[in-house]
Amino acid sequence: GESVGLHLPTLSVQEGDNSIINCAYSNSASDYFIWYKQESGKGPQFIIDIRSNMDKRQGQRVTVLLNKTVKHLSLQIAATQPGDSAVYFCAETSNDYKLSFGAGTTVTVRA
Amino acid sequence: DGGITQSPKYLFRKEGQNVTLSCEQNLNHDAMYWYRQDPGQGLRLIYYSQIVNDFQKGDIAEGYSVSREKKESFPLTVTSAQKNPTAFYLCASMRRAPGDTQYFGPGTRLTVL
């Protein structure tokens, strides 16, 4: 079946550096992509989303890039802070109602 | 978590007992969802409901049941038929409008002893 996955399960980054979290998807019909942040013991928190008619979208300190040709999605976090330590999930959907989630990347920020 | 509440935060049950997890939202969202999360894994869809009095099975519905009698409430029952019920359960809701996304509650951690 179709799947969504992240390239690396863990990422360690120095405080102040930029972080890049990658995600590959296989469903060519996917047209809506979301990044979530989940802190330990809490529910996922929406970070940013992007539709398939866009290549890039920016938020506050975060940027999502979409490469439909290779079915790749990335989340860039600028000037990573200790509060950015969490598990990051990408999710995709082709019908706006059901999401498919990747396994997540655990980001650890070193002081 | 805004507007979506799940209770209780921690729940302990003996093996063989049914247990019901609560999910309430005051966001006036039409669609509601239940996910299961196991350690180190992503979210797997159990059931979802797009409108009141209607719901559909997700990818891992066996051993679970739901009801949607009110727009703001979507309780999940974990039955004794669920082979491995210990997990973190997440409820989410969404407007039925293009461009919206799912918003999650704080979760309930269920431990079956």
Are B48 and A97 within 8 A, CB to CB?
yes
Are B45 and A99 within 8 A, CB to CB?
yes
Pick the residue of B6, B102, B103, B111 with the most A CBs within 10 A to test the interface with A by mutation. B102
Which residues of chain B neighbour A49 with C-beta distances below 8 Å?
101
Percent over 70 (pLDDT), chain B: 96
Residue A94 confidence (pLDDT):
84
Whether chain B has a CB inside 8 Å of the CB on A43: the answer is yes
Query: What is the average pLDDT score of chain B?
Result: 92
Query: What is the average pLDDT score of chain A?
Result: 90
Are A44 and B45 within 8 A, CB to CB?
no
The arithmetic mean of pLDDT across residues B51-77, rounded, is: 96
pLDDT grade, residue B95 (50/70/90)? confident
Amino acid, single-letter form, for residue B101: T
Q: Please state, in angstroms and as integers, the Cα–Cα distance from residue B55 to each residue in A23, A87, B58, B67, B74, following that order.
A: 30, 29, 10, 8, 10
Residue A102 confidence (pLDDT):
85
Our CA-based measurement puts residue B84 at a distance from the nearest CA of chain A, in whole angstroms, of 19
Does B108 have pLDDT greater than 60?
yes
A83, A42 Cβ separation under 8 angstroms: no
The arithmetic mean of pLDDT across residues A19-44, rounded, is: 93
Are B50 and A43 within 8 A, CB to CB?
no
Both tokens of B46, joined, read 């159990």
**Picking from A36-40, B12-16, B67-71, which range would have the lowest pLDDT averaged per residue?**
B12-16
pLDDT grade, residue B1 (50/70/90)? very low
Residue at token pair 């431990």: B111
B94, B100 Cβ separation under 8 angstroms: yes
Question: How many Cα atoms occupy the beta-carbon half-sphere of A92 within 13 Å?
Answer: 24
Q: Who contacts A70 (Cβ-Cβ below 8 Å, separation ≥6)?
A: none
Which residues of chain B neighbour A34 with C-beta distances below 8 Å?
101-102
Q: How far is residue B92's CA from residue A93's CA, in Å, rounded to a whole number?
A: 15
Closest to A82 in 3D by CA, of A109, A61, A105:
A109
